[in-house]
């Protein structure tokens, strides 16, 4: 019997049962769409890019650079999936290669606790990209502006997003995949419409359309364009091309806010058919990155053609600088200059304008499930290993969904979203930590991949990637080294922030912002994860279950 087979059977007395209860209902194409939505060029990409107005590096150059470097992470995850295609991804690999304590603390913090913090970010996307534009185009300016700025309406939008996500995940992987496909095709059709509209006229045509539509929707005066330029021109330094190597390097950690996650579906590969095929795994994630970057660059050129990149960044500077509380002058254009909304101004047909926003909304709805879906499988895997209560690993027999694992995401997110909406304890600044903590988890997995061939020799030798080498060294080790270095650079920039650009860690530049609250918050999350691990391990030992023996086995399917 092979090592993989023996690991799959395991010791029935250790695991909760002989099989997880999950089924492989996704195709590799389903996994590709999930990866494509995970690095969402609209909900995450456009929002992140709009907030880069004060960076000086060329956006196109930085995007291409990032897309090349992230391929090391893609290779790491494609390889580990091929070796151990199990629900739980990072948790399973880290606990089996680095040790149970490290695996639990890093994965639970990065895939469970910190994802609560993503809930209000998804709610923000819903209100800024769908609710506010749709209400505006329907003529309900008053309600649109309430959702645009009032904390109560911010919270309502987040609760709508939270309920939608929970319901779509409860329906099961198979139905989710179907919905995802429809969202994929409709959303891309909307994006083509956006690009076409932006290329349909020149800058003078856009300027006239911007002034006219802004007046109709928000009651602004004829000086709205000039006022936006005046407020944003001294704040905006972002360009499409150019910048020094250092400028490009400083953009990389911000691009990570949306392009770091092609591996977001890795925790689900226990439910993907053909998951032990390295090349297909790699292609699915790599194509998601390349397609996203190509489409985003196309959008950049379309924006530059009519809106102009300079004005787009000036409008973003005017909006975000005021929204973040750095400026006291409200922007003349009172809502986020969402590229799809600005593109719709190029049409005089209200149905076309509304159709653009509605079709583009599928980028949100197709993406929304990523908020919790991957996390539930990590929580499930930890419970299957008996590091969480048995009920958490219970799977609904009809939908094959771990309901209690989902509730461990859903319930705490309500409280987190409330704190965010009303900004208690400066909570909105903590959302910057969301990407950092996830990157720490990916950092641990990259190290695990690097040492896998040397610490788990029999497992590696029996795997489908054993013959894949680079200059005589295992491909997964080389990829692991590059990914570790890449992630390590970003963690250094975020945590020490020598150029005072990110406001997320403890700046070693005295003029920079020291976000001590963020560091304490992240440290507390890791501390709670460690306490759970130590407590559950002691409890299981009192019941005669040796978790150290369990961690030597690969979980059953």
pLDDT digits (tens, 9 = 90+) for 392-413: 888 877 777 888 889 999 999 9
Q: Which H helix or E strand runs over 470?
A: strand 469-470
% pLDDT > 90, the chain: 66
User: What local confidence, expressed as pLDDT, does residue 268 receive?
Assistant: 77
Instruction: Domains for the chain: give ranges and CATH numbers.
Output: 3-34+44-218+246-550 (1.20.1740.10)
pLDDT at 54 over 60: yes
Alpha carbon distance 292, 429 (integer Å): 27
pLDDT at 31: 84
Specify whether the CB–CB gap between 5 and 556 falls below 8 A. Answer: no
Residue with tokens 């590969």, as numbered in its chain: 269
Digit-coded pLDDT (tens) for 504-549: 777 766 556 667 777 888 899 999 999 999 999 898 888 887 777 7
pLDDT digits (tens, 9 = 90+) for 68-125: 999 999 999 999 999 988 778 899 899 989 998 999 999 999 999 999 999 999 999 9
Q: How far is 551 from 214, CA to CA, in rounded Å?
A: 60
Picking from 130-134, 187-191, 421-425, 472-476, which range would have the lowest pLDDT averaged per residue?
A: 421-425
> Which of 21-30, 58-67, 485-494, 496-505 is least confident?
21-30
* Long-range Cβ contacts of 304-308 (<8 Å, 24+ apart): 304/240, 305/198, 305/199, 305/202, 305/203, 306/198, 306/199, 306/200, 306/201, 306/202, 306/203, 306/205, 306/206, 306/346, 307/198, 307/203, 307/206, 307/339, 307/342, 308/203, 308/206
Q: Where are the alpha helices (DSSP H) in 263-372?
A: 278-306, 309-323, 339-344, 350-360, 362-368
Q: Tell me the pLDDT tens digit for each residue of 138-192.
A: 999 999 999 999 999 999 999 999 999 999 999 888 888 899 999 999 999 999 9
Whether the predicted pLDDT of 223 surpasses 70: yes
The confidence score (pLDDT) of residue 391 equals: 85
Give the pLDDT band of residue 2 (cuts 50, 70, 90).
very low
Buried-state track 360-371, b at ≥16 Cβ within 10 A, e below 16: bbbbbbbbbbbb
> What residues have CB less than 8 Å from 263, skipping those under 6 apart?
35, 73, 74, 76, 77, 285, 442
pLDDT number for residue 434: 85
The pLDDT of residue 4 is 40
Q: How many C-beta atoms lie closer than 10 Å to residue 508's C-beta?
A: 14
SS3 469: strand
Mean pLDDT, residues 342-354 = 96
Q: What is the pLDDT of residues 283-336, one digit of tens each?
A: 999 999 999 999 999 999 999 999 999 999 999 999 999 998 888 999 999 999
Q: What is the band of 447 on the pLDDT scale with cuts at 50, 70, 90?
A: very high
């Amino acid at each position: 019997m092979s090592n993989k087979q023996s690991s799959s059977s395991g010791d029935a007395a250790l695991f909760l049962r002989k099989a997880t209860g999950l089924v492989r209902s996704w195709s590799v194409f389903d996994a590709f769409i999930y990866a494509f939505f995970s690095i969402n060029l609209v909900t995450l990409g456009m929002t992140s890019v709009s907030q880069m107005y004060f960076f000086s590096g060329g956006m196109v150059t930085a995007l291409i650079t990032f897309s090349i470097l992230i391929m090391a992470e893609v290779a790491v995850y494609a390889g580990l999936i091929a070796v151990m295609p199990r629900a739980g991804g990072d948790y399973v690999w880290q606990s089996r290669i680095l040790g149970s304590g490290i695996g639990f603390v890093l994965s639970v913090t990065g895939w469970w606790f910190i994802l609560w913090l993503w809930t209000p970010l998804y709610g923000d996307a819903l209100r800024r990209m769908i609710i506010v534009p749709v209400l505006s185009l329907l003529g309900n300016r008053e309600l649109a502006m309430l959702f645009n700025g009032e904390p109560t309406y911010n919270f309502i939008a987040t609760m709508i997003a939270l309920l939608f996500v929970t319901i779509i995940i409860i329906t099961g992987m198979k139905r989710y995949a179907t919905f995802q496909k429809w969202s994929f095709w409709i959303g891309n059709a909307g994006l083509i419409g956006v690009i076409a509209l932006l290329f349909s006229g020149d800058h003078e045509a856009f300027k006239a359309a911007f002034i006219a539509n802004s007046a109709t929707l928000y009651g602004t005066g004829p000086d709205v364009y000039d006022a936006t330029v005046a407020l944003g021109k001294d704040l905006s330094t972002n360009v499409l091309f150019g910048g020094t190597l250092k400028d490009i390097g400083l953009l990389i950690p911000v691009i990570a806010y949306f392009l770091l996650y092609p591996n977001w579906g890795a925790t689900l590969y226990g439910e993907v058919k053909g998951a032990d095929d390295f090349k297909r795994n790699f292609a699915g994630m790599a194509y998601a990155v390349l397609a996203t970057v190509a489409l985003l660059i196309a959008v950049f050129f379309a924006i530059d053609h009519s809106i102009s990149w300079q004005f787009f960044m000036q409008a973003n500077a005017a909006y975000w600088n005021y929204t973040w509380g750095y400026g006291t002058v409200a922007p003349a254009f009172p809502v986020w200059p969402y590229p799809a909304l600005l593109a719709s101004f190029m049409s005089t047909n209200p149905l076309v304008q509304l159709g653009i926003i509605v079709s583009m909304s599928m980028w949100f709805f197709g993406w929304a499930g990523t908020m919790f879906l991957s996390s539930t499988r990590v929580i499930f895997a930890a419970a299957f290993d008996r590091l969480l209560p048995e009920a958490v690993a219970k799977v609904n027999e009809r939908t094959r969904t771990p309901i209690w694992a989902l509730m461990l995401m859903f319930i705490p997110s309500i409280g987190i979203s409330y704190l965010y909406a009303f900004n208690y304890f400066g909570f909105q600044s903590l959302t910057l930590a969301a990407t950092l903590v996830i990157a720490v988890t990916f950092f641990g997995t990259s190290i695990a991949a690097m040492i896998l061939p040397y610490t788990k020799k029999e497992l590696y030798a029996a795997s489908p990637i054993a013959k894949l080498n680079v200059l005589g060294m295992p491909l997964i080790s080389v990829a692991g080294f590059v990914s570790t270095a890449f992630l390590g650079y970003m963690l250094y920039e975020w945590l020490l922030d020598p150029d005072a650009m990110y406001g997320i860690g403890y700046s070693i530049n005295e003029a920079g912002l020291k976000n001590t609250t963020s560091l304490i918050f992240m440290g507390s999350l890791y501390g709670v994860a460690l306490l759970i691990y130590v407590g559950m391990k002691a409890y299981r030992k009192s019941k005669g279950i040796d978790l150290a023996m369990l961690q030597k086995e690969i979980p059953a399917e």
